[in-house]
């Protein structure tokens, strides 16, 4: 058994169920940090222990620690769909020791879900490194009569408002809304904080299908409790070639999330560069690649400038997605 499988199994037992090279150049550093890191680095996770996000962040913390020799811990700052963690990082000392590791796509959407967003991720956070690209998935219990996405589509068209579905995270809500709108149905959405929170209702049939993060989807597909029917990405993922897309069933739905790491906006250039190198080294490790693939995503390595540009683009795109999903503002 490889290291990442043993680590994941250990975390599951504890209840945690749930490449391009650097291309940009950085300006001269604001001040020298030749001894960085000389203290413990904290990876801030936006969701609680037991969530798919927590499993991914904890694995990355361990991978970065092992490849760099630095001490890395995880601190969960759950709440407000990730805004608490993002704001905590933005307000932290800009010294490189507080790193927000989360889905940039969700962070971009959150900016449009609050009438007075606590931060602007384009200006209050600074990109460090990309991690992967990964979509959310449509799934049903393994004993569900729906064997394919076409089966589920037909059921929903017949059931109408009597059908129900579970969602987690902003990205899951947006994909779920886009899916049912494209199909022309109006099932009842049931929101859960994390995938494990939705598990009992999915297994019991209290909800007819779920929109789940890739960690939750892949783990439960592998253990035989769930059947993944479709990916929300516009094309089949290289790490899950057998899972069809919603586009293949005739629906104009193509959404893919992306993960990255950020620090406070004023973090010096040399510290950002060192953090980027630490993430790159971890991502180049074969076991890290295997872990991220098993969690439903393709590795994506990028420079800090590329991460910042992706955030700007995603914030612009998210405004339309939130409107399509008709998500209420807080």
> What are the chain's domains?
3-134+256-325 (3.40.190.150), 137-249 (3.40.190.10)
Q: Per residue in 48-99, pLDDT tens?
A: 987 878 989 999 999 999 999 999 999 999 988 889 999 999 999 999 999 9
The whole-number pLDDT of residue 169 equals 79
Mean local confidence (pLDDT), 87-116: 94
Contact predicate 210/146, CB 8 Å: no
pLDDT at 135 over 70: yes
For the chain, the distance separating the N- and C-terminal CA atoms, rounded to the nearest angstrom, is 45
Per mean pLDDT, which range of 27-41, 98-112, 219-233 is the poorest?
Answer: 27-41
C-alpha span between 104 and 49 (Å, rounded): 20
Pick the residue with more confidence: 239 or 174?
174
Q: Per residue in 66-78, pLDDT tens?
A: 999 999 999 999 9
Mean of pLDDT over the chain: 87
Pick the residue with more confidence: 256 or 261?
261
Confidence category of residue 238, pLDDT binned at 50, 70, 90: confident
Mean local confidence (pLDDT), 192-216: 89
pLDDT at 210 over 90: yes
Nearest to 327 by CA among 176, 151, 152: 176
Q: Per residue in 159-186, pLDDT tens?
A: 999 999 999 877 888 899 999 999 999 9
pLDDT at 278 over 60: yes
The whole-number pLDDT of residue 33 equals 60
């Amino acid at each position: 058994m490889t290291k990442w499988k043993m680590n994941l199994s250990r975390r599951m037992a504890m209840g945690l169920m749930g490449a391009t090279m650097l291309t940009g150049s950085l300006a001269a550093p604001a001040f020298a940090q030749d001894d960085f890191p000389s203290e413990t680095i904290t990876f801030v996770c936006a969701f609680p222990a037991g969530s798919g996000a927590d499993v991914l962040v904890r694995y990355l913390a361990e991978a970065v620690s092992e490849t760099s020799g630095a001490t890395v811990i995880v601190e969960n700052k759950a709440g407000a769909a990730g805004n608490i963690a993002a704001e905590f990082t933005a307000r932290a000392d800009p010294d490189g020791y507080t790193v927000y590791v989360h889905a940039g796509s969700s962070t971009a959407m959150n900016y449009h879900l609050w009438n007075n967003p606590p931060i602007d991720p384009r200006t209050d956070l600074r990109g460090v490194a990309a991690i992967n690209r990964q979509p959310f998935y449509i799934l049903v219990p393994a004993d569900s009569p729906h064997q394919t996405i076409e089966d589920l589509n037909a059921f929903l068209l017949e059931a109408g408002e009597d059908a129900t579905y579970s969602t987690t995270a902003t990205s899951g809500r947006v994909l779920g809304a886009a899916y049912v709108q494209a199909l022309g149905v109006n099932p009842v959405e049931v929101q859960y904080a994390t995938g494990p929170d939705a598990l009992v209702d999915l297994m019991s049939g209290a909800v007819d299908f779920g929109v789940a993060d890739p960690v939750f989807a892949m783990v439960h597909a592998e253990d035989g409790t769930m059947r993944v029917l479709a990916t929300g990405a516009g094309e089949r993922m290289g790490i899950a070639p057998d899972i069809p897309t919603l586009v293949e069933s005739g629906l104009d739905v193509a959404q893919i999330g992306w993960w990255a790491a950020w620090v406070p906006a004023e973090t010096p250039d040399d510290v950002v560069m060192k953090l980027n190198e630490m993430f790159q080294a971890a991502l180049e490790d074969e076991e890290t690649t295997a872990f991220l693939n098993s969690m439903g995503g393709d590795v994506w390595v990028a420079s800090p400038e590329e991460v910042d540009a992706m955030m700007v683009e995603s914030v612009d795109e998210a405004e339309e997605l939130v409107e399509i999903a008709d998500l209420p503002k807080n």
